[in-house]
Amino acid sequence: MTTTSVIEFDVVATTGSGWVALWDAASFAHVTDQAGWEMELIEPDEAGHLSGGHLVPLNILCDGRYGVRVRCGAEFAPVLDEREAAYRKLESEPYLFRSTGTVHVTGAEFIGTYEDEEPPQAFILPAGEYTVTVHLLDWEQEPGMVLPDGAPDALPDFVVLVGPKTGEQFRRDEVTFDDI
């Protein structure tokens, strides 16, 4: 009998640049200052980061603070749970993601390694190639989740499903959904 594990982590990511990303730490270790960031991330696909699978954008063209849940199955593609599926608003086309083992989820402006800043929270995602889909949830539609002091049981804004690489055609648009 084979036991299959699922890796899952939650993070809150803040952005003032309009987008958040799941990104591979080693692929951006050389980005250490604003000039390097601009060369690599103003047009991430021109720099080869989307086609190369170095990052997956969670980009809805809006600054904010976003709850993100990442769920990875190395042997099978994970799915939304019943509650998440009930409030899914949009689903992306598949993205390619290549992990070297350590990943981050941050606002785009925090991609890289900066001497004067605390490094972002790191997560372990086994090295390999993955297919990733991003799901935008409309958690505010769930009864009882919009409260003056917040709702601790609210769903995240995004659920990112990471599974084994399938196919050869992947989305390379830095805006995550066509319907935004």
| C-alpha–C-alpha distance, residues 132 and 140, integer Å | 24
> What residues form DSSP beta bridges with 90?
136
Identity of the residue numbered 99 = S
CB contact at 8 A, 56 and 94: no
Residue with tokens 């992306």: 92
pLDDT value of position 1: 39
Residues, the chain: 180
Provide the edge-to-edge strand list for the sheet that holds 102-107.
Answer: 55-59, 19-24, 102-107, 123-124
- The HSE-up count of residue 140 (CA atoms within 13 Å, CB side) is 2
Q: Is the pLDDT of residue 143 over 60?
A: yes
Q: Is the pLDDT of residue 173 over 50?
A: yes
Q: Is the pLDDT of residue 90 over 80?
A: yes
Could you give phi then psi for residue 139, rounded to 5 degrees? -65, -25
The secondary structure element, H or E, covering residue 83 is: helix 82-86
Q: Is the pLDDT of residue 12 over 70?
A: yes
pTM for this predicted structure: 0.93
pLDDT value of position 57: 97
Among 42-46, 129-133, 142-146, 147-151, the minimum mean pLDDT is found in 147-151
| C-alpha–C-alpha distance, residues 175 and 158, integer Å | 14
pLDDT value of position 78: 95
Which of 74 and 99 is assigned the larger pLDDT?
99
Which of 119 and 73 is assigned the larger pLDDT?
73
The predicted model gives 42-53 an average pLDDT of 91
Listed in sequence order, the residues at least 6 apart from 111 whose beta carbon sits closer than 8 Å to its beta carbon are 21, 23, 28, 31, 37, 40, 41, 55, 104
The predicted model gives 76-82 an average pLDDT of 94
Over residues 117-138, the pLDDT tens digits come to 888 899 999 999 999 999 999 9
β-pairing, 102-107 vs 6-15, is unpaired
Q: How confident is the model at residue 2 (pLDDT cuts 50, 70, 90)?
A: very low
pLDDT value of position 118: 83
> 47-77 burial string, b = 16+ CB within 10 Å, else e?
eebbebbbbbbbbbeeeeebbbbbbbbbeeb
CATH number of 6-164: 2.60.34.30
pLDDT value of position 4: 61
Among 28-32, 40-44, 65-69, 155-159, the minimum mean pLDDT is found in 40-44
Record the tokens describing residue 81, joined without a space: 């749970």
Give the domain ranges of the chain. Answer: 6-164
